[in-house]
Amino acid sequence: MKGSMLRTLAGAAALALAAATAPTQANGPTDADLMNDAASTGDVLTYGMGPRAQRFSPLKAISTDNVAKLVPAFSASLGGEKQRGQEAQPIVYDGTIYVTGSYSRLFAFDARTGEEKWQYDARLPEGIMPCCDVVNRGAAIYGDKIIFATLDAHLVALNRETGKVIWNKKVADYQAGYSATAAPIIVKGKVIYGNSGGEFGIVGAVEARDVETGELVWRRPTIEGHMGSLNGKDNGITGKLNASWQGDLWKTGGGATWLGGTYDPETNLLYFGTGNPAPWNSHLRPGDNLYTSSTLAIDPDTGVIKWHFQTTPHDGWDFDGVNEFIPFDATINGKPMKLGAKADRNGYFFVLDRTNGKFIGAHKFVMQTTWANGFNAKGRPNYIDANRPGAPTAEKGTSVFASPSFLGGKNWMPMAYSQDTGLFYIPSNDWGMDIWNEPIAYKKGAAYLGAGFTIKPIAEDHIGALRAMDPKTGKIVWEYKNKAPLWGGVLTTAGNLVFTGTPEGYLKAFDAKTGQELWKFQTGSGVVGSPVTWEQDGEQYVAVMSGWGGAVPLWGGEVAKSFKDINQGGSLWVFKLAR
């Protein structure tokens, strides 16, 4: 008995010693690595190339002087018949490039040869209801895991070396209209993500799960009146019941968090945008409809909302507010400030104090905003009431022409901020829409719009425009106009370069200070992914996904007809300088 007990105690002591001396997790990126991603150059570990998602790289081996010598290192095909809407940003680690593909797939490619290491295809049910194509925007990496969301509202963790499932968690009911398309973020060992489905009367939420087990840590709904949770217990309702929603409308209020979030280590705050209120018909839901069309600052440890700012109160145009909120520092009127910026679907570029949400300014970054004429000192829009769609009677209400269109002055495609130039580079679009309201009632799993629309161009020479904006002044420093809409993300580097793609198939490089186009490459399909750059074997590489799709060909009306001949595709392109 004593010998057995001694062996047990010895074994326990050995396990304790091993635990004390072992790494904090399986080999792979740590929390510290993720927080340092913006400064590290040998990998790309987070969506946005750093927790703040500034999409700025300190690399400058590729510069304005030599970018014309950029050539393909390799291209890797996603294969199959699922060539549609490749909106992903690559993750790069330890000689492997990880990309998600349409229809909830995840691929691992050799970063030196392009050879496929493994592929994972989610088993999607037939009844999925994605509003805006079968896209996925990227994965998160941590330790031995690569994690992504699926169109049937699951979160899946795979072994990053084998592609085998470690855990698979249902996060919402796809039959009620929920889906998931955003890249998760990982903060303090928690994988944090949003949901999609605002067009189906769902309820938006931000959730955090233990990255090792997938178990839920906290949940924060984004519509007032809904209860949050922390470690399996109630953690207070969101907002105040019926403060800005009448009756039971809050129960199907929308506010999806479908673009994911950013994180600022300095303030220890997550920043998540929220989508449109449901239904689109604003006459059916009087009030500001919190917390839709807003930016929320959330405590990553508890899921408690610390502050909010609503960019389109009582949204009647489906402008959403999901666009990424990017932390940055600047000196304004001689005062150093901790700020954040957001280029909203509604056509205005917002600058806020990221510590408390105080409104600093809003600047128009598109050709026209017919729904409002600027913002007052308190951060409320100066509405143009005649340009709100009319209330429906038995059939449809009065139609109005609104600009931007509901696809936005900037949609999901992420902008970039250069720490060198102090400018934001915004992939924007100039278009409008005829929009009218219609009667609607909620039905589980059915579209819950109460509106009709037709999108139209408003300029003869372009729809898309890459614009460089000074956040301190609100002035547009330069712009590049593109005939087709811009629908891909932006990368900027210390080499004084800005990269973005076009639906016509080009990846392009511009001078970050002047906007001069310096290089382009035809990828064979529309580029709607987000480019990244990293250093490998002493050389700088640039990578982007190619594959036309997303919301424009599905919802774009007259605009979509103009670009119906763009070929679909599914490829990863990787570039480096010619020797």
Buried-exposed string 440-453: b where 16+ CB fall within 10 A, e elsewhere: bebeebebbbbbbb
Whole-angstrom distance, CA of residue 87 vs CA of residue 458: 26
Q: Is 434 in the active site?
A: no
Whole-angstrom distance, CA of residue 481 vs CA of residue 384: 28
Is 199 labeled as ligand-binding?
A: yes
Q: Which residues pair with 451 in a beta bridge?
A: 437
Is 411 labeled as ligand-binding?
A: yes
Is 504 labeled as ligand-binding?
A: no
Q: Which residues pair with 118 in a beta bridge?
A: 108
Active-site option among 43, 264, 288, 318 = 318
Whole-angstrom distance, CA of residue 141 vs CA of residue 543: 18
Is 266 labeled as ligand-binding?
A: no
Q: Which residues pair with 481 in a beta bridge?
A: 465
Is 152 labeled as ligand-binding?
A: no
Please compute Rg for the chain using Cα positions.
23
Is 301 labeled as ligand-binding?
A: no
Residues across the chain? 579
- Identity of the amino acid at 383: Y
Nearest alpha-carbon partner for 423 in 478, 465, 367: 478
What are residue 344's phi and psi, to 5 degrees? -90, 155
Whole-angstrom distance, CA of residue 540 vs CA of residue 537: 8
Q: Which two tokens stand for residue 560?
A: 């979509």
Beta strand spans in 171-277 (E):
185-187, 190-193, 205-210, 216-221, 227-230, 233-237, 261-264, 269-273
- Identity of the amino acid at 374: G
Nearest alpha-carbon partner for 318 in 483, 481, 131: 131
Is 209 labeled as ligand-binding?
A: no
Buried-exposed string 144-182: b where 16+ CB fall within 10 A, e elsewhere: bbbbbbbbbbbbbbbbbeebeebbebebbebebbbbbbb
The answer to whether the beta carbons of residues 568 and 59 sit under 8 Å apart is no
Q: In the chain, how many H helices and how many E strands? A: 4, 40
Q: Which two tokens stand for residue 7?
A: 């062996």
Q: Which two tokens stand for residue 27?
A: 């080999």
Chain Cα centroid distance, residue 1: 61
Chain Cα centroid distance, residue 272: 9
Chain Cα centroid distance, residue 484: 21
Nearest alpha-carbon partner for 432 in 283, 319, 284, 551: 319
Is 137 labeled as ligand-binding?
A: yes
DSSP 287-332: S--TTSSEEEEE-TTT--EEEEEESSTT-SS-----S--EEEEEEE
State the residue for tokens 């928690």. Answer: 190
Question: Which residues participate in catalysis according to the annotation?
Answer: 318
Known binding residues for Ca(2+): 199, 276, 318
Known binding residues for pyrroloquinoline quinone: 87, 137, 181, 411-412
